Amino acid sequence: MSKVSQFQEEREQLNQLVLTHENLTVKRFYNLDTKAYSDGALPRKVKELLGLVASFVLRCDDCITYHLIQCHQQGVSDEELVEALAIGLVVGGSITIPHQRRAMEMWDELNRQDEREGK
């Protein structure tokens, strides 16, 4: 199983576990998160890049992976991704470099997955 598939499967299972507790605050937060990334004055693609950079600076690997997948689905190019992560590096400093390495590894996996699927 690829890292992408493993991440998505685990995330889905854990989200379902969290939601089984029927907490209104949690449900509202999840809904707010979903709505925040919808097209608006800024297109979803830009919002996903913003989410990626924020996650990168905060050094949350799960969040970085999630936003990489979303960026990939939104058609972010390799060049756009590298520039966005460069901004994160400037803001976050050298401590973000290990996260940059893992992000690029995941991005390469997403691109290889496209190649295998003929996209």
Identify the pLDDT of residue 74.
Answer: 98
Domain count, the chain: 1
CA 25 to chain centre: 23
Q: Return the CATH number at 32.
A: 1.20.1290.10
First to last CA, the chain: 20
Query: Other C-beta atoms within 10 Å of 83: how many?
Result: 12
Residue ranges making up the domain that contains 95 = 3-116
Q: pLDDT band for 22, please (50, 70, 90 cuts).
A: confident
Task: Dump pLDDT digits (tens) for 50-68.
Answer: 999 999 999 999 999 999 9
Half-sphere exposure of 8 (CA within 13 A, CB side): 11
